[in-house]
Structure 1
Amino acid sequence: MRPTSTSLLAYCRPGFESECAQELASAGERLGVIGFARTTRGSGFVEYVLPDSSSQQAFSAGVQLANLTFARQLLRVIERIDDLPAKDRLGLLMPVVRSTARRFVDAWIESPDSDAARELAGLCRSLNNALVAAMKRESLIDAASQWRLHVCLIDAQTAFVCETEIAHAAPWPGGIPRLRFPAAAPSRSTLKLEEAFLTLLDEDERSRWLQAGMCGVDLGAAPGGWTWQLVRRAMRVIAVDNGPMNQGLLDSGLVTHLREDGFFYRPAHPVDWLVCDMVEQPRRVAELIGEWLIGGHCRFAVFNLKLPMKQRFKEVELCRQRMHEAAQAAGKRLDWRARQLYHDREEITVFARLR
């Protein structure tokens, strides 16, 4: 038996299935590969169905997770299994795994990030252990493999059996890095910037671009959740906000607090990093960040775009396009990496620089 599905499976934030589906459709159109989405609002996943297996392969080769905003993980579906028997789920899963004629570096059984699917956590853990043990007995686990097996349980009887190339996939189950809130941080918003660094930069970029002694500006800084992430890396920070900053950050000796409007402040000298989590219209924030980059005020930027209630995908594309055009007019190329992070809500987080 060979894989029969022509689908892709994308995990996303519950409530943003429509935006994820629009993004997949837009990516397919650019490739000339047209499919359609099957999903339910609040489910936390999108199944994107393509006409044949060659279209599935072309889409997988041409669309990388790193270029998607609303998808946390993008998987190639091998087969959907309905009516999994409670007493012998492996009896249906293992023939599908064998059908791939592939060895996998690991196998993850997971469920979407929805209220209903989270109740499957215990089943996922126990079934995962049994599946990996069965695969090891049949020599289907290989530490040198470039592929990982994913089984997505959408309920106790229904599973998508999928695969992904680990080089282009999120390295966390469900595409979600599980971060612990640092007790010393002044607000939970600090987890957004920590996740952004993990998700939008690779290991080499983090080692080169997040070094002690660098300097940064945090616009809309109070009380200092994002500033804290820079200070913990021994960076000097100018925190711009009319609100009060955390006293511990001020006592660090690395933070200068300026009570000014973040939209009008510009540094006297260029800085390495600009970070910004201000509540404002996304187009206005994107224009501001573009001005900082093009004006040479910073090298790198991480910022949040608070999305409107409607046409959220369209708004993201508009912001990206406007920044791209502004960079192009200045003779530069825009490096734009955006993701709706686990710690985001009605917003996305963007890393940008000019090349």
Structure 2
Amino acid sequence: MNKPLPSWLVYCRPGFERDCVEETQAKPLEAVGNSGYLVLQGKARLAYNQLAFARQLLTLLGEVRDLPERDRLAPLLAALPAAPERFGALYLEVPDTNEGKTLSGFTKRFQPLLEQALRDSERLTDDACLPRLHLFFPSEDRALIATSDPHNSSDALNGIHRVSMSADAPSRSYLKLAEAFAVFMDEQEQAQWLKPRMTAVDLGAAPGGWTWQLVQRGLHVTAVDNGPLKGAAAGHPAVKHLRQDGFKFRPQRPVDWVVCDMVEQPQRVAALMTEWIVGGYCMNAIFNLKLPMKKRVEALRIALDSIRSALNKKGLRYRLEAKQLYHDREEVTVFLHREKR
């Protein structure tokens, strides 16, 4: 007898539900436009770090409808499956929509009650190696019960890494790079690859949001843009501003990082970043690929495949990941790390 295919609960940016379905190639059981979540079936194994449009990847275990307003705790506890026996964390989550945000107050009030009940029954413990328990509330009277694999999911509530804005940042793009560091690298990798006095190039830097994020981490930055830098980034001693074309600039000696947030066709940006890594100009890159309104998954696949093909042809070892971040819009952020031999 064939083993039944798993059901997945996936969170995404509202409006990108179709892209998630296309990317996973799984059967949509529930995929409402602009809802910010999907229920999918199929694909015995999905890899979270290979899904660009998924903020979170969960295994769906069950569902409770018509939750009574006066006692939601009892039916939810009764609906929890026997396996896994214990959970390492409890997340109560809501859709990333205006309607979902109105539920956040309810989940904050309800969380301590459910958490205490699970600890009393010894089903909840502080063990990061155990599966996490997720209760997702599309509405106050409906809950989807799911678990996440710590090695195949996001560890952030709602799959969103919250980052703080610097008061003197030149633009809100500062948040985008801060989120990228949190999503693509753990704390140990950040400490290793973002050391003070390392060097970076910011292509298309103006007005300086990404440059300022790098400066705040102690890096020395060459900001390349024909436009002006603004705010604290302008004239800062750790910033060298070159009024040049970001596509034509190359450093005289290798740097540790290149970052790029230029508005250009994704294939052209992908080719530029490939040249920087293959040519030995840097070891690490974070860049944005601005996607078309239609065929976004295809455009992203073509761009990423071109990078893989070029690096594989050179026999290079590398790590390549892409995610549509919370602070992204019609774009996907890519992390590319060239490993040392």
TM range (shorter): over 0.9
Q: Which residue of 1 aligns with 2:109?
A: 126
**Whole-Å Cα distance in 2 between the matches of residues 155 and 193 of structure 1?**
33
**Whole-Å Cα distance in 2 between the matches of residues 160 and 251 of structure 1?**
52
Unaligned segments of structure 1, at least 5 residues: 26-33
Cα distance, 1:98 vs structure 2: 5.2
Give the aligned CA root-mean-square deviation in angstroms: 1.7
Counterpart contact for 1:9–1:46, Cα < 8 Å: yes
Name whichever of 245-254 and 286-295 sits farther off.
245-254
What does the per-residue CA deviation read over 1:158-193, in whole Å, with 9 as the maximum and x for residues that have no partner?
A: 111011122333121101112221101111000000
**Whole-Å Cα distance in 2 between the matches of residues 189 and 271 of structure 1?**
22
- 4+ residue segments displaced more than 3 Å: 34-37
Q: Which residue of 1 aligns with 2:23?
A: 23
In the alignment, structure 1 residue 330 sits paired with structure 2 residue 314: yes
Q: Which residue of 1 aligns with 2:292?
A: 308
- Matched residue of 2:151: which SS? helix
Cα distance, 1:243 vs structure 2: 0.8
User: TM-score, with normalisation over the residues of structure 2?
Assistant: 0.94
Q: Which amino acid aligns with 1:23?
A: E
Counterpart contact for 1:220–1:262, Cα < 8 Å: yes
Q: Which amino acid aligns with 1:84?
A: L
Cα distance, 1:101 vs structure 2: 4.8
Within the candidate set 263, 266, 276, 1:279 is matched to 263
Counterpart contact for 1:38–1:49, Cα < 8 Å: no
**Whole-Å Cα distance in 1 between the matches of residues 257 and 49 of structure 2?**
21
**Whole-Å Cα distance in 1 between the matches of residues 228 and 258 of structure 2?**
19
What does the per-residue CA deviation read over 1:31-61, in whole Å, with 9 as the maximum and x for residues that have no partner?
A: xxx64452011000111123xxxx6xx42xx
**Any residues of structure 2 matched to 1:330-349 within 5 Å, and which?**
330-349=314-333
- Matched residue of 1:91: which SS? helix
**Any residues of structure 2 matched to 1:57-72 within 5 Å, and which?**
58-59=44-45, 63-72=46-55
Q: Which amino acid aligns with 2:107?
A: C
Cα distance, 1:94 vs structure 2: 0.2
Within the candidate set 41, 52, 57, 2:33 is matched to 41
Unaligned segments of structure 2, at least 5 residues: none
Cα distance, 1:354 vs structure 2: 2.8
Name whichever of 344-353 and 35-44 sits farther off.
35-44
Cα distance, 1:5 vs structure 2: 9.3
In the alignment, structure 1 residue 161 sits paired with structure 2 residue 161: no
Within the candidate set 175, 184, 202, 1:191 is matched to 175
Q: Which residue of 2 aligns with 1:288?
A: 272
Q: Which amino acid aligns with 2:62?
A: E
**Whole-Å Cα distance in 2 between the matches of residues 241 and 235 of structure 1?**
18
**Whole-Å Cα distance in 1 between the matches of residues 203 and 97 of structure 2?**
33
**Whole-Å Cα distance in 1 between the matches of residues 313 and 37 of structure 2?**
38
- Matched residue of 1:251: which SS? coil
Cα distance, 1:96 vs structure 2: 2.1
Name whichever of 209-218 and 34-43 sits farther off.
34-43
Counterpart contact for 1:111–1:118, Cα < 8 Å: yes
**Whole-Å Cα distance in 1 between the matches of residues 256 and 120 of structure 2?**
51
Structure with a larger share of its residues in helix: 1
Counterpart contact for 2:57–2:153, Cα < 8 Å: yes
Cα distance, 1:332 vs structure 2: 1.8
Cα distance, 1:331 vs structure 2: 2.2
- Matched residue of 2:163: which SS? coil
